[in-house]
Structure 1
Amino acid sequence: MPLDQAEVARILGVDVPPLPEHITSVTHDSRDVSPGAAFVAIKGFTADGADFVPQALERGASLIVAQHDIPGVRTAVVPDDRVALAALATELAGNPSHDLTVYGITGTNGKTTSSYVLHAILTAAYGETSTGLMTTAEVIIGRHHSMSVRTTGEAPEVQGNLVRMRGAGVTHVVLETSSHGIHLHRVDGTRYAAALFTNLTRDHLDLHGTMENYYRSKRKLFEWTVGPKVANADDAAGARMAQEISGTRTFGHCADADYRIGDVHRQGARTVFNLTTPDHGVLELHTPLLGDYNVHNVAGASAIALETGMSARVLTKAVSEMGQVPGRFERVPAAVDRGFEVVVDYAHTEIGLRAVLEVAREVAAGHGPDARLICVFGACGDRDKAKRPLMGAVASELADVAIITTDDAYSEDPQTIADEVAAGADMSHTSVVVDRQEAIRSALQVAHRGDVIVVAGKGHERVQHLPTGDIDFHDVSVVTELIHRL
C-alpha cells in the first residue's frame, strides 16, 4: 500500500522531508531502487549504505532514510536504520503475517531440519498449495521452490515472501528464524502464531559477543509469539526458556518433558521412537532421518504441530513419508553404485560435526567391521576462530581419515584457516587439501566398499565465498560429477 509523507512520518516516528510522490517500496540495496522507493542507508559490517545514496537517487529514490544526516540530501534521520527498514517493509506489504499462520523455529542446530519436518506435516494436513517455507536452504511457496540467500532474509525479503505466499493462497508458513534475523530486526513486524526452540551451542559470537546475549536474542522469538511455544528440555537453554517464558511446553528424553522421547532404535535405514504426548497418548513415529539429534528435530516439530491442533494420524503418516532435507545428512545417490556412501551435511561447528560423524559412524558400522569413516571439512573465515581447533579434534577423534579443506574463507587466507583447524587435529590420519574440490576428489579416491564419506560445512549452499571472489560450488553436485568421472 503506497504511503504518503504523514504515514511515513508516523511509521518512522521522525520528521520526514516533503516527498515528490507516494512511497511504494523500500530497500537497503541501491541496485533495487526504482521511482517511488525509500532507500534505507544501512551502516553495515563492511559497508555504509550512505556511500550508495547517489546511486539510489539516480535510480529515482523518493526518500533517503539513515541514522545520520547526509549532507546535501533531504534525509529522514532515524534512531535505528534496521528498525526503520523493517517498519516500512511491513507496512508497505500490508502486514501479511496477520493473514497467515506463521510458525517460527529458532536455535543453533536443527532449525532447518525441524523446519522441513514441520513443513512436511503441515503439507500433509493442509495440502501443498496451502503451505510455505522459508529456510536457510530454500523458499517454498506452494509448489514453487527457489534458493535462499541467507537463513533469514532482510526485512523487505521476508515481508515480500509473505506477501507472495498470501497471494498464492498459502495459509500456513514455517519461518526459520535465526539469531541474526532477530538481532538485526529482519523479522520485526512478523506475527508468530507458534514457536519452537531446538538448542543453543557456541556459534555467532562474532555478532552477539557472549552466550548470554546469544540466548537473549533467541528468547525474543518466544516473547513475541502469541500462540503455542515448545522448547527442548534436554538442552540447558531450552529448559531455561521454558522456565522464563510462561506457557512454554517442552520435549525431550527427560522424564518431566511434556512430549517425552523414548525407545529410540534403528530399523533398517529409518529411526523409530515413541513420543509420549499430553493429549494423544503414546505415538510411534517412523522417520527416514537418522541420529538422536534428528529424533529431537522430529519430536520438536511434532510437538508444535500437535500443540496447534494437528491430528495424530496425519502427523505420524507425514513424518514417515517425508523426504531428505537438502544438505542435512543428505545421501548422494551416485555413490551407491560404487559401493560406498557419501553424505553431505551443513555441520560447521564442533558440536554439529560431532553429531553428524557419530551418526555416520553408526552407518559405517552397519556396513561391516572394515568400513571406514572419511570426513572432509573446514571452518569459516571471518567467524569465531576458537572453534577451529575444536573441529579438528572432533574429526580426528571420530573419523578414520580426516581431510581439512576450505569452507567459506571470506576475506581470510584459506591456508591459515586450515592450519588453525589442524592445530587441534591428530595429523597421523589427517591431511590438508586446501582446494575443496580436490579434497573431495581425494576422499572419493581412497574410499573402499562399505566406507562412509561425510562432506561437511557447506550443505545445501551453492556458492563458496573466497578472498578472490565468490564461485559456484554445491557439494552434492561436485560429489556427483566427480563420481561419474572416476
Structure 2
Amino acid sequence: MESNRSGLCLASAAQLLAQHGLLREIIAGEVWTLDAHDLPNSETPFTTITYDTREVKPGSLLFVKGRFDPRFLDGIDDQGLACYVAETDHEDRAAAPGLIVDDVHKAMSLLSAEFFGRPQDSLTVVGITGTKGKTTTDYFTHAILNAFSNGHAAMTSSIAVCLDGKTWEPSHLTTPESLDAFRMMRTAVDNGMKYLVMEVSSQAYKVHRVHGLTFDVGAFLNISPDHISPIEHPTFEDYFHCKRQIIANSRAMVIGADSDHLGLLLQAAEQHDAPTTTFGIDAADGGHESQTRVDMIMTPDPSRKTGFDITFHDDTQSFELDMLGEFNFLNAAAAVAIAHRAGVPFDDPAMHAIERVQVPGRMERFVGNDGLHVYVDFAHNYMSTKALVDEMLRVYGERHPRITLVAGTTGGKAIDRREGIVKGALGRAESFVFTLDDPNFEDPRKICEEMASFVSDESAEVQIIVDREQAIVTAIREAREHADRFNIVLVIGKGHETRNIIDGKTVYWPGDATIVRRELGLN
C-alpha cells in the first residue's frame, strides 16, 4: 500500500507549487489565500493521491485534470476528500480546499514525486526517445543494466513494466501519467532496484508527464514526421521541439549520429551542458553530417545475418542478436552507448545481454510447415515500415521474396501515416491488404480506401478487408497459393497490442500473433 514518504500536506504542497510559480491561490469556501496556514489541518499529511474520483478515500489529495466532468465531484466530501488540485475552483461541489494552479499536469508531477519521497534520487534513471526504436532500445538497455547489477534494474515501456528485475506486467501507455510513474519508481526502489529505464514519448513532454524529472542519461535515437494531427502535434516542428526537451532534462546524452537535424540536437546538448556520446553506422560511409564525431560505431558483418561489431575508441566488440533487423543493430549500439554512459564498462560481459533479447511484436517471426514466413511488427509509419521491408530484402533478397503487407492505421490522428506506410513498402511489396487498426471515430473502410489510393504501383495487388482477422487469414492463404515463390507476409501496426479503439471504446483483439499462430497451425 502506498504511503506518504515526505509527509506531504496542504501547507507543504502549496509551498512547493509556489516555489515553481504554479500556485494561483488556495480556495476553501469564502477563504481565498496564499497561506495554507489560514486553513485548519494544513499540516495533516495526505493519506493517498489520485486523479480518479472513484479512488478518493479519507485524507486523499485529488488531481482534477483533462476533460473532467465536474459532476464527478458530487458527494466527494462524503468520501473524505482532503484537498484537490485544479486549474479552476470547484467550491460549488467540494468543501475541501482547492489548490488552484496554472497547470495541473505540472503540479501533479511535482507533488507526486514529493509524495513518494523523490524515488528518482535513489535510482539511475534512463530516458529514451525517438520516432522509432524506443521500445527495442529500452529492452536492450534494461537487459544490459539488469545483467550488470545482478537483477536490480527496472523498466517501463509501451509493452510491459518490470519493477523487480524479473516480473513483467502489461503496460498501457508509452510514458505513464506522472503519478503512476513516480509510484512505479517508489516500488522499484522498495524492491531494491538500482536502475530504471523508461521510454519517453513526445506527448510526455507535451502534457508534462515527466515535468521536473531529470534523467541521469537521456537518449535521442532519431526523428522523422509522426504524430502530426490536431489532437497530437500540429506541426513537425512542435513534435520535434517536444521530443528534444529530453536534452534539457538530462545530465548526459546519447544521440544518434544518423538522426535528421543532428546539428540542432548537438547544439542543444552543448547549451544544456550535457556531455554526449554519439552512435551510428560506419562513420566512413559519409552518411553522417559533416565533421560529426561518432563515438560508438556499429559495423554490420555481411557474413552474419544477425551479427555486427561495435567500435568504441580503440576497442571492438562483436555481437550476435537473437532478433532479425539490421535496424536493431543500431538500437543495440544505442543501448551499449546508454549503458556505458550509465557506468557499464564497454568491455563488460553484461553488454552481451542484448544477444538474448526478444521483444514481443517487434520483428516477431513465425514459420509455417510449408516454409511461409510471417512477421508481426509494430511498424506504423513510413520510417519503420521502410526499415522493415529493407530488412526483408537484406536477409531474403537472394530468394526474390513475394512480400504481402497487411496494414491499417489510426483514425483521427497521425494522418500522414496513411501515405507513409504505403510509401515505405511501395515498389517492393507485391500485395497490399488494408484493414482496421484503431479507427476510433473514423470509418475504417474510408481509411483503407485512402491508403489504397497511395499505391501507385500498377502491378501490385490491392485489397480492402476491414475485418482484421479475415485480412490476416486471407493474406496467409493467398500467399500459400503462390507456392512457386518464397513468400513473406508482414502484419504490421499493432505489434503486441490486444485491443482496437473503435468509436471511442476499447474493443478486445486477440492479437496479431494469435491469429498468425492459429492460421499457420503453430498453436
Q: Same fold (TM over 0.5)?
A: yes
Aligned with residue 313 of structure 1, among 332, 348, 368: 348
Name which one, 1 or 2, has greater alpha-carbon Rg: 2
Distance change (3 Å), C-alpha of 1:276 and 1:257: farther
Residues 373 and 489 of structure 2 are in contact (CA less than 8 Å); yes or no, is this contact kept in structure 1?
yes
Residues 39 and 65 of structure 1 are in contact (CA less than 8 Å); yes or no, is this contact kept in structure 2?
yes
Letter in 1 for 2:453: A
> 2 CA distance for matches of 1:275 and 1:19?
62
Residues 224 and 260 of structure 2 are in contact (CA less than 8 Å); yes or no, is this contact kept in structure 1?
no
| Other-structure match for 2:34 | none
Alignment of 1:242-257 (within 5 A): 242-246=266-270, 247-253=275-281, 254-255=283-284, 256-257=292-293
Distance change (3 Å), C-alpha of 1:151 and 1:49: farther
Alignment of 1:232-311 (within 5 A): 232-246=256-270, 247-253=275-281, 254-255=283-284, 256-267=292-303, 270-278=305-313, 281-311=315-345
Letter in 2 for 1:348: H
Deviations 1:230-284 (A, max 9, x none): 101111234421232122221113354433435413555x422222213x52222
Q: Which has the higher helix share?
A: 1
Residues 325 and 363 of structure 2 are in contact (CA less than 8 Å); yes or no, is this contact kept in structure 1?
no
Aligned with residue 221 of structure 2, among 195, 198, 220: 198
Q: Does 1:421 align with 2:444?
A: no
Alignment of 1:212-223 (within 5 A): 212-223=237-248
Letter in 1 for 2:233: H
Superposed structure 1 runs of 4+ greater than 6 Å apart = none
Aligned with residue 74 of structure 2, among 54, 63, 86: 54
Residues 117 and 298 of structure 1 are in contact (CA less than 8 Å); yes or no, is this contact kept in structure 2?
yes
SS in 2 for 1:471: strand
Q: Does 1:69 align with 2:74?
A: no
Once the 2 structures are TM-superposed, how far is the Cα of residue 24 of structure 1 from its aligned partner? Answer: 2.4
Deviations 1:393-414 (A, max 9, x none): 3334221211111111112111
Once the 2 structures are TM-superposed, how far is the Cα of residue 113 of structure 1 from its aligned partner? Answer: 0.7
Residues 27 and 40 of structure 1 are in contact (CA less than 8 Å); yes or no, is this contact kept in structure 2?
yes
Once the 2 structures are TM-superposed, how far is the Cα of residue 478 of structure 1 from its aligned partner? Answer: 2.4
Residues 35 and 60 of structure 1 are in contact (CA less than 8 Å); yes or no, is this contact kept in structure 2?
yes
Moved more, 107-116 or 410-419: 410-419
| Other-structure match for 2:156 | 134
Unpaired runs of 5+ in structure 1?
none
Distance change (3 Å), C-alpha of 1:185 and 1:262: closer
Unpaired runs of 5+ in structure 2?
29-38, 285-291
Residues 26 and 88 of structure 1 are in contact (CA less than 8 Å); yes or no, is this contact kept in structure 2?
no
Identity %: 29
> 1 CA distance for matches of 2:119 and 2:352?
31
Deviations 1:458-485 (A, max 9, x none): 1121211112732222211222233339
Residues 360 and 454 of structure 1 are in contact (CA less than 8 Å); yes or no, is this contact kept in structure 2?
no
SS in 2 for 1:290: coil
Q: What is the alpha-carbon root mean square deviation over aligned residues?
A: 2.2
Letter in 1 for 2:13: V
Letter in 2 for 1:437: E
Distance change (3 Å), C-alpha of 1:266 and 1:164: farther
Distance change (3 Å), C-alpha of 1:363 and 1:281: closer
Once the 2 structures are TM-superposed, how far is the Cα of residue 39 of structure 1 from its aligned partner? Answer: 1.6
Distance change (3 Å), C-alpha of 1:192 and 1:458: same
| Other-structure match for 2:136 | 113
> 2 CA distance for matches of 1:476 and 1:363?
21
Residues 222 and 256 of structure 2 are in contact (CA less than 8 Å); yes or no, is this contact kept in structure 1?
yes
> 2 CA distance for matches of 1:223 and 1:11?
21
> 2 CA distance for matches of 1:56 and 1:261?
58
Distance change (3 Å), C-alpha of 1:174 and 1:66: same
Once the 2 structures are TM-superposed, how far is the Cα of residue 220 of structure 1 from its aligned partner? Answer: 1.7
| Other-structure match for 2:35 | none
Distance change (3 Å), C-alpha of 1:317 and 1:249: closer
Aligned with residue 388 of structure 1, among 418, 428, 442: 418
Alignment of 1:299-448 (within 5 A): 299-311=333-345, 312-320=347-355, 322-332=356-366, 335-365=367-397, 368-369=399-400, 371-426=401-456, 428-448=460-480
| Other-structure match for 1:149 | 172
Letter in 2 for 1:69: D
| Other-structure match for 1:5 | 10
Once the 2 structures are TM-superposed, how far is the Cα of residue 154 of structure 1 from its aligned partner? Answer: 0.4
Distance change (3 Å), C-alpha of 1:243 and 1:12: closer
> 1 CA distance for matches of 2:298 and 2:17?
51
Q: Does 1:453 align with 2:483?
A: no
TM-score normalised by the chain length of structure 1: 0.91
Deviations 1:186-234 (A, max 9, x none): 11233311111110111122223222222222222121112x3110111
> 1 CA distance for matches of 2:408 and 2:351?
37
